C-alpha cells in the first residue's frame, strides 16, 4: 500500500548511498538508525535540508536520520521500498567505511538494538504498576486481594518478570541467533527457579562493595559435580545475564552450523546449541553477569551517595547532549538494571526535568518570536516535548539558536541536582514526559521492601521541581532571546514560460526543460533506471533552464540546486534530478531561483545551470523527471524518442 512518506523514503534511500550501501536499518522513538558500509557515500547535507527530516547524526557506529514523531511510518515506507528487512544483514563487526567498530560504538549499537523494540511495552507496563501502587495506598492493602488488582498486576508485572525472554528475542535478532533458541535459554533461567526451588535455596553468601551489598548468591545444587551459583534475587526481571547468554549461544550456534550436515541441521543445531549454551549460562555466564549487574547498581549508588547533588546535576545537564549523539543508550540499561537489582533508580532518573526545560524554552520562543516559520515549528515541538520527545525542539529550535540550548542544559542540571538533593526515585519504567509521573509512585514491592509510608512524596516533589525549573527556563529565555535578523532571501528571477506555450493541464506534467526525451531505462544510474525512485522519463537537456512541470508547491529545493521536488495540485510528487552524481559538485554551476515552500505555476523558472561547465567537469546532464508516488495512480506514461521544448506535454497521469 502506498504511503504518504514514500517520496521521503526514496530521498532517504538515495542519499544514504543507495540500497547497496545499507548493512542494516532499525529505528527508535524518533530516528532511523542505519548501519552503512561507507558513510562517505551518504549526502548528509542534503538529508539535513530535506523537509520531513529534523537532522542527521553520525554517532555510535550508526548513521541516524532524525525524523520525529512519524518515525514508525517513515521506517515502514523505507523498508517497503528498500526491502531492508529481508535484504540488509549485519556483516560481523564491520563499521561504516570498512573499519572495525570501537568498543564504545559496539556497545551503543548493541544496547540500542536490544532495548529499542521493548521500550514501548516497558513504558506501558511501568505506568500500570505505578497506578496500582497508588490504588493500594488509597484503597488499603485489602485491595491487593481482589481479582481486579491481581489481573491488572499481571499486566503490569508479567512483562517485567519475563523481561529476560523479551530481551532474549531482541538480543537474538541483534546477535543473529535463532530467536526461539534465545527465548528457550531465557525460559530455562526462569523455569529452573520456579520448578526446582532447591536449586536456588542453598546457603546465602553476601559480599559487600562500597560499604553496601554487592551480591547475594546461593550455592546448593551441582551440575556434573560443579556447584550451581544462583543469585539470591533470581533471574526474573534481570537484564544483563540473558544478553550475555544469548551472545554466547549465537557463537555456539554459528560453530555448529558450520560442521553439522545440512540434512540434520534443522533439529541437531538447536539441540547442540542448547546443550552447550544452557549449562555454561547456568554455571558461568549467569552468575558472573549477575555479579556485574549488582556491581553496576552498587557503583551507581556509591556515586550517588558521594554527592547526590553533583551526580544529579551531571546527569541532568548532560542528558540532552547524550540524546543528540544517541549515546544515552549507555545509561538506559543502567536504569533498568537498578530496577531489577535495587527496586528503584535515583541515578538516571535525574534526567527527568530535561524534556520539560526544553518544552519551556520552546514555549518562551513561541510567544516571543515574530518569525512565522519558527512559530509553526514551535507548536509541534512544544506538544512533542510535553510527551517527552525533545528531538524536534532540540534540532529544530534550541540547538540551531545555540544560547537557548546551553540554557536548557544548565537548567536541566539544576533540576537534576534538586532531584538528587531530595532523593527522588523512580520505581518502574514508564512513558516519557508527563506520562512518566506514575513511575514515581512506589510499586507494592517497593512499599513493602523499603517501608515507604508516603507513596506520593516523590510525585509531589518532582512535580514541584519540574514546575520550578520550567519557570526558571521560561524566564531566562524570555529575557535573553532575540530573533536573529534573517538573511535576505534571493528573489525569484520572475522568468516564466509564456502561458500560451504551456501544454499542461490537470493530469499531465509538462517538460521542465527543453531537450531530447529518453526512457528511464537508458539513464546511467540504477536508482533511476530500475524505477525504484519512481516512474517517468528523462530528458537530455538542450539548455540550462528548468521550469515547473505543473502547478503546486516546491516540497524540496536541494541546497546544491541539482534537484528539486514539487508536490503538484494534481497530487503528483515530482522529482527533477539535473544530471547524474551532480550532487558532488556541491552547488557549483547551479543557481536555484525558488526556495522550499514556494508556490509555483507550471512554467515558473526553478533552476538555472551551466550545462557546458557541468559537462566539462565530466558529469552526464541527463535529467530524470519522476513521479515518486506513482503507486497512488493507475498509470504514469510519457512518449520518448522525441525532442521537446520546455512547456510541451511530457507525462500523462491517470
pLDDT score of 199: 63
Predicted confidence (pLDDT) at residue 198 exceeds the cutoff of 70: no
Q: How many CB atoms lie within 10 A of CB 491?
A: 7
Helix 163-175 × helix 147-161 angle, to 10°: 30
Active site residues: 28, 577
pLDDT digits (tens, 9 = 90+) for 615-646: 888 889 999 998 887 777 777 888 888 888 88
Secondary element (H or E) of residue 180: helix 179-195
Residue of 88 and 454 predicted with greater confidence: 454
Question: If pLDDT is split at 50, 70 and 90, which confidence band does 487 have?
Answer: very low
pLDDT score of 276: 93
Quick one: which of 113, 96, 119, 121 has its CA closest to 25?
113
Predicted confidence (pLDDT) at residue 216 exceeds the cutoff of 60: no
Q: What is the mean pLDDT of residues 43-59?
A: 81
Cα(251)–Cα(253) distance, integer angstroms:
6
Predicted confidence (pLDDT) at residue 108 exceeds the cutoff of 70: no
Q: Which three cell numbers stand for residue 333?
A: 540499561
Domain 499-653 has CATH 2.70.70.10: yes
Predicted confidence (pLDDT) at residue 250 exceeds the cutoff of 90: yes
pTM of the model: 0.53
pLDDT digits (tens, 9 = 90+) for 262-282: 888 888 999 999 999 999 988
DSSP at 99: P
pLDDT score of 461: 93
Spell 207-242 as b/e; 16+ CB within 10 A means b. Answer: eebeeebbbebbeebeeeeeebbbbbbbbbbbbbbb
pLDDT digits (tens, 9 = 90+) for 488-545: 444 444 566 554 445 444 568 889 999 999 988 888 877 677 776 778 899 999 999 9
Residue 108 in contact with residue 61, Cβ under 8 Å?
A: yes
Domain borders along the chain are: 6-101, 162-303, 307-480, 499-653
Highest mean pLDDT among 223-237, 383-397, 458-472, 581-595: 458-472
Least confident of 338-342, 556-560, 570-574: 338-342
Fold of 6-101: Gyrase A; domain 2 (3.30.1360)
Predicted confidence (pLDDT) at residue 158 exceeds the cutoff of 60: yes
Report the mean per-residue pLDDT for the chain. Answer: 80
Residue of 589 and 117 predicted with greater confidence: 589
Percentage with pLDDT > 70 across the chain: 82
Predicted confidence (pLDDT) at residue 208 exceeds the cutoff of 60: no
Amino acid at each position: 500500500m502506498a504511503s504518504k512518506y514514500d517520496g521521503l523514503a526514496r530521498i532517504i534511500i538515495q542519499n544514504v548511498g543507495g540500497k547497496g550501501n545499507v548493512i542494516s536499518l532499525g529505528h527508535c522513538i524518533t530516528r532511523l538508525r542505519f548501519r552503512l558500509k561507507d558513510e562517505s557515500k551518504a549526502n548528509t547535507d542534503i538529508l539535513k535540508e530535506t523537509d520531513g527530516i529534523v537532522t542527521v547524526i553520525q554517532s555510535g557506529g550508526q548513521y541516524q536520520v532524525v525524523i520525529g514523531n512519524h518515525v514508525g511510518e517513515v521506517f515502514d515506507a523505507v523498508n517497503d521500498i528498500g526491502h531492508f528487512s529481508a535484504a540488509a544483514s549485519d556483516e560481523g563487526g564491520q563499521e561504516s567505511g570498512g573499519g572495525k567498530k570501537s568498543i564504545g560504538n559496539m556497545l551503543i549499537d548493541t544496547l540500542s538494538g536490544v532495548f529499542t523494540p521493548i521500550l514501548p511495552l516497558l513504558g506501558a507496563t511501568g505506568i500500570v504498576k505505578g497506578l496500582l501502587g497508588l490504588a493500594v495506598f488509597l484503597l488499603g492493602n485489602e485491595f491487593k486481594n481482589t481479582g481486579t488488582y491481581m489481573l491488572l498486576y499481571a499486566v503490569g508485572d508479567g512483562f517485567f518478570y519475563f523481561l529476560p525472554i523479551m530481551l532474549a528475542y531482541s538480543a537474538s535478532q541483534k546477535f543473529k541467533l535463532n530467536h526461539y533458541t534465545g527465548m528457550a535459554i531465557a525460559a530455562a533461567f526462569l523455569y529452573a527457579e520456579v520448578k526446582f526451588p532447591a536449586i536456588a535455596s542453598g546457603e546465602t553468601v553476601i559480599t559487600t562493595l562500597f560499604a553496601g551489598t554487592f551480591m547475594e548468591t546461593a550455592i546448593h545444587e551441582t551440575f556434573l559435580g560443579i556447584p550451581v551459583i544462583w543469585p539470591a534475587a533470581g533471574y526474573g526481571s534481570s537484564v544483563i545475564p540473558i544478553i550475555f547468554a544469548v551472545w554466547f549461544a549465537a557463537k555456539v550456534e554459528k560453530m555448529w552450523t558450520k560442521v553439522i550436515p545440512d540434512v540434520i541441521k534443522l533439529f541437531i543445531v538447536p539441540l547442540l546449541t542448547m546443550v552447550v549454551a544452557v549449562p555454561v549460562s547456568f554455571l558461568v555466564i549467569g552468575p558472573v553477569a549477575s555479579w556485574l549487574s549488582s556491581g553496576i547498581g552498587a557503583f551507581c549508588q556509591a556515586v550517588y551517595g558521594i554527592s547526590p547533588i553533583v551526580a544529579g546535576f551531571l546527569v541532568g545537564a548532560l542528558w540532552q547532549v547524550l540524546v543528540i549523539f544517541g549515546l544515552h543508550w549507555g545509561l538506559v540499561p543502567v536504569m533498568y538494571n537498578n530496577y531489577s537489582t535495587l527496586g528503584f533508580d535515583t541515578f538516571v532518573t535525574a534526567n527527568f526535568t530535561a524534556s520539560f526545560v526544553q518544552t519551556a524554552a520552546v514555549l518562551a520562543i513561541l510567544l516571543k518570536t515574530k518569525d512565522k516559520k519558527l512559530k509553526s515549528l514551535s507548536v509541534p515541538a512544544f506538544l512533542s516535548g510535553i510527551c517527552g520527545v525533545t528531538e524536534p525542539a532540540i534540532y529544530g529550535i534550541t540547538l540551531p539558536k545555540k544560547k537557548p540550548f546551553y540554557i536548557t542544559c544548565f537548567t536541566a542540571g539544576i533540576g537534576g541536582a534538586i532531584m538528587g538533593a531530595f532523593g527522588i526515585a523512580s520505581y518502574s519504567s514508564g512513558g516519557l514526559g508527563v506520562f512518566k509521573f506514575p513511575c514515581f509512585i512506589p510499586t507494592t514491592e517497593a512499599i513493602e521492601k523499603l517501608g515507604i509510608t508516603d507513596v506520593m512524596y516523590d510525585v509531589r516533589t518532582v512535580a514541584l521541581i519540574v514546575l520550578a525549573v520550567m519557570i526558571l527556563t521560561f524566564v531566562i529565555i524570555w529575557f535573553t532571546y532575540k530573533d536573529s535578523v534573517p538573511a535576505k532571501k534571493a528573489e525569484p528571477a520572475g522568468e516564466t514560460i509564456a502561458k500560451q506555450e504551456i501544454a499542461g493541464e490537470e493530469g499531465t506534467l509538462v517538460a521542465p526543460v527543453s531537450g531530447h526525451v529518453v526512457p528511464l531505462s537508458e539513464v546511467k544510474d540504477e536508482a533511476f533506471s530500475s524505477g525504484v525512485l519512481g516512474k517517468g522519463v528523462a530528458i537530455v537537456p538542450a539548455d540550462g533552464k528548468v521550469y515547473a512541470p505543473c502547478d503546486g508547491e516546491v516540497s524540496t529545493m536541494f541546497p546544491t540546486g541539482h534537484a528539486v521536488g514539487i508536490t503538484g495540485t494534481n497530487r503528483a510528487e515530482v522529482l527533477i534530478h539535473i544530471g547524474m552524481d551532480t550532487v558532488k559538485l556541491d552547488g557549483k554551476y547551479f543557481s536555484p531561483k525558488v526556495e522550499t515552500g514556494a508556490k509555483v505555476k507550471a512554467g515558473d523558472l526553478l533552476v538555472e545551470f551551466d550545462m557546458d561547465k557541468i559537462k566539462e567537469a565530466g558529469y552526464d546532464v541527463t535529467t530524470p523527471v519522476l513521479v515518486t508516488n506513482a503507486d497512488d495512480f493507475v498509470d504514469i506514461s510519457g512518449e520518448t524518442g522525441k525532442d521537446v521544448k520546455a512547456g510541451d506535454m511530457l507525462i500523462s497521469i491517470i
